[in-house]
Each structure stands twice: as structure tokens, then as C-alpha cells.
Amino acid sequence: MSETAEDLGQPESEKEFKELLTFFLAGEEYGVDILRVQEIKGWDSVTNIPNTPEYIRGVINIRGSIVPIIDMRLRFTLEKKEYDATTVVIILNVVSKGNADRVMGVVVDAVSDVYNVPVNDVKASPDFGTAVDTEFVTGLATIDGKMIIVLDIDHMLNAAELAVVDQMAE
Amino acid sequence: MSIDLEQFHETFFEESFEGLDIMETGLLELEHGEVDLENINTIFRSAHSIKGGSGTFGFTAVAEFTHDMETLLDQMRNGERQVTVPVVETLLGSVDVLRSMLNAIRDGSEIDVNNVSQMTASIKGILGVEDAASGAPEVEKYAQAAKGWVVHFKPYVDILKTGNDTVRLLRELNSLADQTEVTVDNESLPPLTELEPEECYQSWSIKLIGAEVSEDEIREVFAWVDDECDLKIEAMAEDSSDSIAASPGEEQSEEELPEKRSVEKRAGKSTESSSIRVNISKVDELINMVGELVITQSMLSRFGESEEFNDSTIERLKDGLAQLEGHTRELQESVMRIRMMPISFAFQRFPRLVHDLSTSFDKKIELIMTGETTELDKTVLEKIGDPLVHLVRNSLDHGIESPAERIKAGKSETGVINLSAYHQGGNIVIQIKDDGAGLNKDKILTKAKEKGLVNSDERMTDDQVYDLIFRPGFSTADVVSDISGRGVGMDVVRRNIRELGGAVEVKSKPGEGSVFTIRLPLTLAILDGQLVGIGDETYILPVISIIESLQVKSENINAVAGNAEVYRLREEYIPIVRLYQIFDIKPVSTELDSGLLVVVEAEGKKIAIYVDDLLGQQQVVIKSLETNFRKIEGLSGATILGDGTVALIIDIAGLIDLYQKDMASNVVSIKGAAA
């Protein structure tokens, strides 16, 4: 684990690896940098926040801090799904420029695995034009013949918030 | 061993800014004609510490500048100079320059050299004029000094532990005179076996023969060890060096005391720093509380170990739990008190502000401050400063009339601004009251109509009209002066105060003046909350804003213009706010008479909030939603309930705004449909 962290500090290195935690969302496998994952917990009830978009499910208490929970399916405008036994909340550390780090949770269908992926194997995602929103995608990685969509969580979760602010301003 | 001096910089700046404040306060008193030697001494000592500190840390520009100030102050102190208004003004000006220099150094920016040299020139100007006049005594002093001095230096045993080096002091003394004679007194030196190498046992008598220095210059050498030694300085008489002079050493220590006291009095002051100085008694209190808590805990843990459990043990367990609750609460209060600081830290800048502004406006103003010792949370205190400055400026600029107008109105020429603070309920109330012309209702209304803030046919009470000045985009100043009308309006004042969970309102009487009242919570951390149920959700209303809760009588409900509902409560019509509509929640029932109305008030406005149920009251710890998320309109934060779930705290003032926006958008849509 610590070795990986060191490797991440040397982008020039050929053998640079990145550990990804992957999860499922509507049949696709997505990955996030495991160093950003604070914990994984089962779905529990949340406190709704009024006048926020539907994808912001509400807030929960994680050891005394109030943490907002975002539904990834709704965020990506995928089909809604009832939460079941495999539904989990991944608590992530979100880094934003100029602000203190924040803690946010995302609801996903299920967690999958942890992979060690060479950074060079993460390919930029092809341009889908306007058909698919690739704004929050860092790239695509192939592991054992499967495609994994690597997400830029900082961008996604900060943008998620900004979108709300804009909406409120109108 | 090299010591990283930078770690002390912050302390130095903190202390220097304190010193500057002390000097400012003192100088303002001087200006009012109260020439008091102790006061001048205090000012002098502050300047001296700043000079010493800046010298140590290598801020030579500051040290040099302060040196000139100090010279001037020294002359005042010795009665060699009359305390006149121009001198005090110059000193006040130099306090400002010094402050900006220190700020510049702290922020690593450039010092405004022009400013500094201008100020230095004007101080030197005063000094030069006076030097010619008081040349004679000065010469005499040196003449007396010419024969030399005898310095009896007896350090306390602990002097070395404070980081002072006696050798350095002696070396420095040596540099003052061409010829020195040093006698060491080794009498108290213990036998080698008992000798503690970190202690100092010797004392010295140093003869500075033919040294052309003043007594003060010698004292300067010992400035850092003042309170760690007995120091006697005697002028060398014709030939005897043993003349028994009055011991200036004792005098010195007496002189030291007030300074220490003033430092203690000032303890805890720092405007933007993250550190806090706490009175030791508060800490002791805390330790006592923790002691009590430990005792209670050990008492309770006995029950956990005991085998049997019967009625009597349960009774004692209950007692123990009650004690625990008491102690927890007391502990909580003690901890809160650590963050509490007297409001004088926010008030102290006003004498200067009023002084400066009244000069620039050509108005005569007296500032009366009361309740400066009222304590409030440090965070609140730091953030309330700017809104207060704005309000006081406003009173000065718009409130108080010019002396001519005042005389015409049959009032005394001097206007009075009252700044007061006091506790009321769980709140702190700050009032800014002036005896000026009062708010001009017609002018406000005209302006508001001009800006489209109100409809021309709207009927409003006086208070509602006055409240318009807090609306964004409103400024009543006919002439935009450099003080008001800089785009920072009353709306910003209100917003800042709201961010602190407080409220501001204004009352005014034409010809008699206006009163701005700010209400602030004592602390931002804990709130007395009323839990209410709406559908499946639990919300918290601050108990402080609740006036009453009541069951709905349907005959008291009236609908205005179809949509807006009001409730008649003792001849008062209060708008009903259906919280579930505003927050988009599915309620248990939408029938008003099956739920309850909670009448709340904020900023002089009342609303009746419709809720499904009242769930009980408790103290809640306020958690910010902004830490991980962002601000939500109508909510002031969240808290964690006993069962670990999160409940949201309603911001009443924000909710009223939301409700009004909601209503306004309905009106617009109706109008749109009609068109």
C-alpha cells in the first residue's frame, strides 16, 4: 500500500501503478483511486435535504461529521434502482482547489474488486461527441479483458455541488 | 545552538498589536486633556516593548521608527514637553504608520516608505524644536554623567534559566565606557559539591569611569532582565563610589507591576489569530470540573461491577446519573467560557474611529460605551467587528446632524452615540443608539420605489419602511462620501449578522434618533432546540425564536388573495408557513387543524410554521453543513440526535425569506396568467 503511494509520487516511472477500487453501476464497472476511499458501508437511511436535486440523497452522520450522500445512478441520469442487499455507500475524500478537503459518499450498486493498474494502461476515453458525457471520466482501463471506467471524483463531486449552486442562483 | 526566531514572530506581532492598541487608547485619553503620568508611562512602555522586540527580530525599520516615538514620549514622561494636541495627533499618526509597518512585515509585503519617512520627519520636527528649548537640562544631565556611573548588578539565581547571559550584559556595559572597573561578589557561591551549574550566584559592581551615557542608556542594557535582578545605578560622586543613593532598583520593580497587570488585563486579545490566551482561573475551573467528573465516573462504574441489582442500587444509580448530567453540563459551560471574551475587544477601536470621523465630518460627537465586559464567543466577536464599524459609521455619517443643524433643532451641539452590550435570555444584545435626526421615512420610501423594492401602492408600517434599508441595493446617502456608500450596504451588515445566527433591526423616531439592535447567540456551538416532526422528517427550531406553539382553531384561519393564509392570534395576523410545501416533504396531513402551529419571530417578523408534531426540546450541538457540502437556504446547520441520525436546524430568518420568495413567485405567476 505504502509502496503504491510512493509510486504515485513519481509520474516519470515506467512501472507506476495505481490501485483502483471498482464498483458496479448499471452493469458497468467503474474505478476510483483507492487512496481516496475512506470507508465502505451498507446503505442506511439518510436525512433528506430540502430544495436540492434528486441525486443528492441527503446527509448522514459519520463519526460526528455531516456527510452528503450522492446517488451515482441519478447523477449519471441512469435508470433508478431500488436499493438492495448489495447496495453500498463509498465514502470518499474529495480534494478541491482552494478549499479544505471534503468527505462525501456515493451510492453504487455493488463494490467489485481492487486492482493494481499500471498508470500507462489507463487510456483516454474516446470522444463520444455529445452522446455521452465523459466530463468526469479520467480514462478507460482494461483488466482481464474487462473495461473499467476510471472516474475523476474531484471533478465530479465538486461539479455536482457547483451545479446545485447554479440552479439555486436562478 | 541556533534558535529559529521565526517561531516567535507571531507572538511578537500579537503583542505589538496589543501594544499599539494600548498606545492608541492612552493617546486618545491624553487628547481629552487627562494628562496622567501613569498613562504616559503605559504608552511609553508599549512603545519600548515594540522597539525592543523589533530590534531582537531584526525589523530595524520598525525599531528605528519606534525609537523616535519613544524619545518624544520620554520627554513627555519627564515633563520636559507639554502634552499638546499637535503632539498627540502626531503620535496617533505614528501609531497608524507603525501598525501598517508591522502589518506589511507580517504579510511579507512592502513597507510604505514614503509614509514612514513623512511621519519620521514630523516627529523629528517636533523633537528638533524642543531640543533647542530644552538643551540646557540635557547638557546638565550629560555633565553629571561624565564622571561616570556605578552599577550594582545582582542577578537572581534563576537568571540563566530565562535564557539571559550575564556575560553578555557585562560586555555590553563595557562598551559604554572607555574605562571600567568590575568587582565580583562571590560571597554566596556555594561549595563546589552543592553548586548548581545552571544557577547564578555572583553579583557585580561595575564602575563606568568617564562614561558619557545617561542613566536610561544603562538601564536599556538591562531591559530584558529587569525583573530578574536587583539593579542599582548610582552616579559617581566626586571621589566616593559608595554613596548610598535611594535604591532605584526597588523603584524599578514597583514600576514594573502595572505593566504586568495591564498585560494580564489584555490577555486573550488577538483579532485574527488562531490562538487564544485564557485566564488561568478558567483553566483551573475546568480542571476542577474534570476532577468531579472522574469521581462521578468511578462511582458509576461501581454499579457496573456489582453483582446484584436491587431497588436501592437503582436509586443510587439514578442519583449518579443525575450528578453526571449536572457535571457534564457544567463542564460544557466551562469549556464554552474558555472561548468567551469581553466585547471590549470589539469596542476598543471605536473611540479612535469616532475621533477620526468626527474630525473629517466636522461634527461634534461623544461616544459612550457601556457593558464592555459582556462576554461572547471568540468567533462571534471576531466577525461582529466589521458590521459594528459599519453601523457606527452610519450613525455618525447619516444619523448625527451637523452642529449648526443640531442647534437649530434645539439640541446640544454635541451628538451622542451610545454603544452598549448586554445579555438577554440566551442572547447577547448590542445596541448602537444615536440622538440624531432619525431615519427619514419619506426618503426611504421614495428611494425604495425608485429602486423597485416596493410597489407604489403598498401600505407599510413605520418599522417595515425602516427595515427597507437592509434590502440589497439600497443606500440613502444623498452624497456618496468616502465613509458610507462604498458599495458595502446595510444588506451586507444584515447578511454578516445572519451568518452568525443573529439578527439586526432598527427603530427610529424623527428628530430623536435611531437605535440599531443586534441580537447574537452567545455561542455558535450549542443551541437549545425544539424538535418538530413533519412527515417522516425531524427538524429543529431554535427555542430562542419561538414565541408560542398552539393548536389551530379553524375559525381563526383567513386566506388573503386566495393563496396566502394568515392566522389571527390576539388581534394580530400572522402568515402561516406550511413547511412541507417550502421544503417539499410529504406531510402526515395537510389539514391545518390536525397539526400544530409554532409561532416564531426573527428580525421583527413573525410567522406561524405548520408542523405535524412537537417532539421535545433538547440542547443540540450545531454542525456545519458547509464543511462537506454547502449552505442550504433556510437551514443554519445540522445536528446529530441521540440515536445517531442527522436532524437539520432551521434558520428562521432564512425561512421567512424563502417563504416571501415563494409568495412573490406565486404573485408573479398569477399576474402572468392574468396578462
Assess whether B254 and B312 both reside in one domain.
no
Assess whether B534 and B447 both reside in one domain.
no
Residues written for chain A: 170
Residues 6+ apart with CB under 8 A from B513: B399, B433, B434, B435, B436, B437, B438
A74 touches chain B (CB under 8 A): no
Distance CA A126, CA A128 (A): 6
- Please compute, for residue B207, the number of CA atoms within 13 A of its CA located in the half-sphere on the CB side: 13
Assess whether B555 and B634 both reside in one domain.
yes
Residue B186 lies in a domain: yes
Check residue B209 and give its pLDDT.
Answer: 74
A165 touches chain B (CB under 8 A): yes
C-alpha cell at B447: 428611494
Higher pLDDT, A55 or B259: A55
> Is pLDDT above 60 for A166?
no
Nearest CA in chain B to A68: B629
User: What stretch of H or E contains B302?
Assistant: helix B280-305
- Residue B575 CB coordination number (10 Å): 17
> Is pLDDT above 60 for B255?
no
Q: Are A48 and B537 in contact (CB under 8 A)?
A: yes
Check residue B540 and give its pLDDT.
Answer: 93
Crossing angle of helices B85-107 and B113-133, rounded to 10°: 150
B644 touches chain A (CB under 8 A): yes
Check residue A111 and give its pLDDT.
Answer: 92
Question: What number of C-beta contacts closer than 8 Å exist between A and B?
Answer: 68
Assess whether B297 and B381 both reside in one domain.
no
C-alpha cell at A106: 456515493
Distance CA B44, CA B38 (A): 10
> Is pLDDT above 50 for B140?
no
C-alpha cell at B299: 462511582
A61 touches chain B (CB under 8 A): yes
Crossing angle of helices B311-338 and B280-305, rounded to 10°: 160
> Is pLDDT above 60 for B456?
yes
Residue B560 lies in a domain: yes
User: What stretch of H or E contains B665?
Assistant: helix B652-674
Q: Span B214-230, mean pLDDT?
A: 75
Residue B270 lies in a domain: no
Site from A45, A51, A101 to mutate, B interface, most B CB atoms within 10 angstroms: A51
Residues 6+ apart with CB under 8 A from A111: A21, A22, A23, A24, A40, A88, A90
> Is pLDDT above 50 for B132?
no
Check residue B562 and give its pLDDT.
Answer: 65
Q: Which residue has the cell 472522574?
A: B294
Q: In angstroms, what CA-CA distances link A143 with A33, A119, B252?
A: 15, 12, 81
pLDDT band (50, 70, 90) for residue A90: very high
Assess whether B290 and B394 both reside in one domain.
no
Q: Which of B628, B640, B644 sits opposite A102 (nearest CB)?
A: B628
Check residue B413 and give its pLDDT.
Answer: 85
C-alpha cell at B589: 396531513
Is ipTM strictly over 0.90?
no
Q: Are A47 and B537 inside 8 Å of each other by CB?
A: yes
Domain boundary among B232, B265, B298: B265
Residues 6+ apart with CB under 8 A from B118: none
Higher pLDDT, B395 or B141: B395
- Domain of B202 in residue numbering reads as 142-265
User: SS in 3 state form for B131-194?
Assistant: HHHCHHHHHHHHHHHHCEEEEEEEECHHHHHHCCCHHHHHHHHHHHCCEEEEEEECCCCCCHHH
Question: Please, which residues bridge with residue A94 across strands?
Answer: A102
Residue B271 lies in a domain: no
Q: Are A50 and B630 inside 8 Å of each other by CB?
A: no
Check residue B197 and give its pLDDT.
Answer: 77
> Is pLDDT above 70 for B221?
yes
Residues 6+ apart with CB under 8 A from B431: B418, B419, B420, B421, B515, B516, B517, B518
Q: Checking DSSP bridges between strand B546-551 and strand B375-377, what pairing results, if any? A: unpaired
Check residue A40 and give its pLDDT.
Answer: 93
Check residue B269 and give its pLDDT.
Answer: 35
Q: Are B547 and B600 in contact (CB under 8 A)?
A: yes
Q: Are B38 and B259 in contact (CB under 8 A)?
A: no
- Model-level pTM greater than 0.80? no
- The CATH number of residue B61's host domain is 1.20.120.160
Distance CA B303, CA B320 (A): 10
pLDDT tens-digit series, residues A94-146: 887 666 788 899 999 999 989 988 888 888 877 766 555 677 888 888 888 88
Domain count, chain B: 5
Interfacial A residues in 5-24 facing B (CB < 8 Å): none
Q: CA dihedral defined by B404, B406, B412, B416, rounded to 10 degrees?
A: -120
Q: What percent of chain A has pLDDT over 70?
A: 78
Assess whether B261 and B297 both reside in one domain.
no
Contact list, B638 vs chain A (CB under 8 Å): 47, 59, 66
Look up residue B256 and give its amino acid.
Answer: E
> Is pLDDT above 50 for A83?
yes
- The CATH number of residue B426's host domain is 3.30.565.10
Q: How far is A98 from chain B (nearest CA, A)?
A: 13
Assess whether B71 and B173 both reside in one domain.
no
pLDDT band (50, 70, 90) for residue B154: confident
SS3 B223: helix
Q: Among A7-21, A62-76, B348-362, B611-625, where is mean pLDDT lowest?
A: A7-21
For the question of residue B67 being annotated catalytic, the response is no
Residue B273 lies in a domain: no
B624 touches chain A (CB under 8 A): yes
- The CATH number of residue A51's host domain is 2.40.50.180
pLDDT band (50, 70, 90) for residue B257: very low
Distance CA B333, CA B286 (A): 9
pLDDT band (50, 70, 90) for residue A2: very low
Assess whether B98 and B241 both reside in one domain.
no
Assess whether B484 and B515 both reside in one domain.
yes
From the list B145, B104, B144, the residue with the least C-alpha distance to B13 is B104
Domain boundary among B265, B291, B315: B265
Q: Among B363-367, B431-435, B440-444, where is mean pLDDT lowest?
A: B440-444
Contact list, B640 vs chain A (CB under 8 Å): 61, 64, 66
Check residue A38 and give its pLDDT.
Answer: 92
Check residue A129 and give its pLDDT.
Answer: 62
Query: Rounded to 5 degrees, what angle do the CA atoms B416, B341, B50 make?
Result: 85
Check residue B649 and give its pLDDT.
Answer: 92
Question: Please, which residues bridge with residue B531 across strands?
Answer: B540, B616
Q: Are A67 and B632 inside 8 Å of each other by CB?
A: no
Query: Rounded to 5 degrees, what angle do the CA atoms B146, B152, B153 make?
Result: 125
Q: Are A65 and B625 inside 8 Å of each other by CB?
A: no
Q: How far is B655 from chain A (nearest CA, A)?
A: 12
For the question of residue B394 being annotated catalytic, the response is yes
- The CATH number of residue B597's host domain is 2.40.50.180
Assess whether B486 and B506 both reside in one domain.
yes
User: What stretch of H or E contains A13?
Assistant: none
C-alpha cell at B646: 442527522
* DSSP single-letter state for residue B397: I
Check residue A130 and give its pLDDT.
Answer: 56
Q: CA dihedral defined by B31, B36, B40, B43, rounded to 10 degrees?
A: -70
Q: Are B634 and B616 in contact (CB under 8 A)?
A: no
B627 touches chain A (CB under 8 A): yes
Assess whether B147 and B28 both reside in one domain.
no
A168 touches chain B (CB under 8 A): yes
Q: Span B52-62, mean pLDDT?
A: 81
A51 touches chain B (CB under 8 A): yes
Distance CA A167, CA B643 (A): 33
Handedness of CA B15, B19, B20, B21 (dihedral sign): positive
- Counting beta carbons within 10 angstroms of the beta carbon of residue B22, is it exposed (0 to 12), middle (13 to 18) or buried (19 or more)? buried
User: What stretch of H or E contains B505?
Assistant: strand B503-509
Nearest CA in chain B to A101: B628
Catalytic, out of B14, B29, B70, B234: B70
Q: Are B59 and B105 in contact (CB under 8 A)?
A: yes
Catalytic, out of B394, B398, B401, B496: B394
Contact list, A68 vs chain B (CB under 8 Å): 628-629
> Is pLDDT above 60 for A13?
no
Q: Span B520-549, mean pLDDT?
A: 85
From the list B483, B506, B536, B519, the residue with the least C-alpha distance to B357 is B483
A2 touches chain B (CB under 8 A): no
Q: Checking DSSP bridges between strand A137-143 and strand A146-151, what pairing results, if any? A: antiparallel
Check residue B147 and give its pLDDT.
Answer: 65
- Domain of A54 in residue numbering reads as 2-169
Q: In angstroms, what CA-CA distances link B327 with A47, B41, B190, B333?
A: 32, 46, 52, 10
Q: Which of A45, A52, A66 sits opposite B638 (nearest CB)?
A: A66
B634 touches chain A (CB under 8 A): yes
Distance CA B173, CA B211 (A): 10
> Is pLDDT above 70 for B646?
yes
Q: What percent of chain B has pLDDT over 90?
A: 4
Contact list, A168 vs chain B (CB under 8 Å): 633
pLDDT tens-digit series, residues B7-44: 777 778 888 888 888 888 888 877 766 677 788 888 88
Q: Are A47 and B633 inside 8 Å of each other by CB?
A: no
A92 touches chain B (CB under 8 A): no
Domain boundary among B318, B338, B358: B338
Q: Are A59 and B629 inside 8 Å of each other by CB?
A: yes
Chain-wide mean pLDDT for chain B? 77
Q: How far is A3 from chain B (nearest CA, A)?
A: 30
Assess whether B239 and B309 both reside in one domain.
no
Domain count, chain A: 1
Q: Which of A46, A61, A68 sits opposite B629 (nearest CB)?
A: A68
Q: Are A66 and B623 in contact (CB under 8 A)?
A: yes
> Is pLDDT above 50 for B84?
yes
Residue B275 lies in a domain: no
Contact list, A103 vs chain B (CB under 8 Å): 628
- The CATH number of residue B191's host domain is 3.30.70
Residue B274 lies in a domain: no
> Is pLDDT above 80 for B163?
no
A67 touches chain B (CB under 8 A): yes
